[in-house]
């Protein structure tokens, strides 16, 4: 059975784990962009948000503690409005909701295959 473009998560264990950990903390509007061949920075971008600074911190802490891999770079943890976790092949952006709405990072990768993740689809 051929996999569809939206099945790109299937063969990515760390990606699946990060998505699950974000959903565990009720991350909002979780989306994954497959930017392989479109970006030399990484293979996947995950974008999600929390409704408050404590929720943003909880999402990030759950990802950091729940994966064996450690991010090579962590940015924005002090202010908790936009935190970036760089896992080489996966870059995770966790926003506070109003910051996400302001920056609209999704527009930058409109040409990439994208999949929205929620508890029902995962």
According to the model, what pLDDT value does residue 1 have? 35
* pLDDT tens digits along 2-42: 344 457 777 899 999 999 999 999 999 999 999 998 999 99
| Domain ranges, residue 70 | 35-117
Q: Is residue 29 part of a domain?
A: no
Q: Report the distance separating Cα 117 and Cα 19, nearest Å.
A: 8
Q: Is residue 74 part of a domain?
A: yes
Most confident of 35-39, 44-48, 110-114: 44-48
* pLDDT tens digits along 52-107: 999 999 999 999 999 999 999 999 999 999 999 999 999 999 999 999 999 999 99
Number of domains forming the structure of the chain? 1
Q: Report the distance separating Cα 115 and Cα 84, nearest Å.
A: 19
Give residue for tokens 């995770």.
Answer: 92
SS (HEC) of 51-99: CCHHHHHHHHHHHHHHCCCCCCEEECCCCCCEEEEECCCEEEEEEEHHH
According to the model, what pLDDT value does residue 83 have? 98
How many angstroms separate the first and last alpha carbons of the chain?
19
Q: Is residue 110 part of a domain?
A: yes
Give residue for tokens 């109003």.
Answer: 98
The enclosing domain of 64 has a CATH number of 3.30.460.10
Q: Report the distance separating Cα 15 and Cα 21, nearest Å.
A: 10
Question: What value does the mean pLDDT of the chain take?
Answer: 91
Q: Is residue 28 part of a domain?
A: no
Q: Is residue 13 part of a domain?
A: no
Q: Is residue 98 part of a domain?
A: yes
Long-range contacts of 67-73 (CB under 8 A, 24+ apart): 67/14, 67/17, 67/18, 67/21, 69/14
């Amino acid at each position: 059975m051929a996999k569809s473009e939206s099945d790109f998560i299937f063969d990515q264990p760390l990606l699946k784990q990060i998505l699950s950990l974000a959903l565990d903390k009720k991350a909002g509007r979780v989306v994954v962009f497959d930017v392989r061949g479109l970006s030399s920075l990484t293979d996947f971008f995950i974008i999600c948000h929390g409704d408050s600074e404590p929720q943003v911190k909880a999402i990030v802490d759950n990802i950091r503690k729940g994966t064996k891999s450690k991010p090579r770079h962590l940015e924005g943890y002090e202010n908790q409005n936009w935190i970036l976790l760089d896992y080489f092949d996966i870059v995770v952006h966790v926003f506070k909701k109003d910051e996400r709405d302001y920056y609209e990072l999704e527009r930058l990768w409109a040409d990439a295959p994208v999949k929205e993740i929620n508890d029902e689809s995962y």
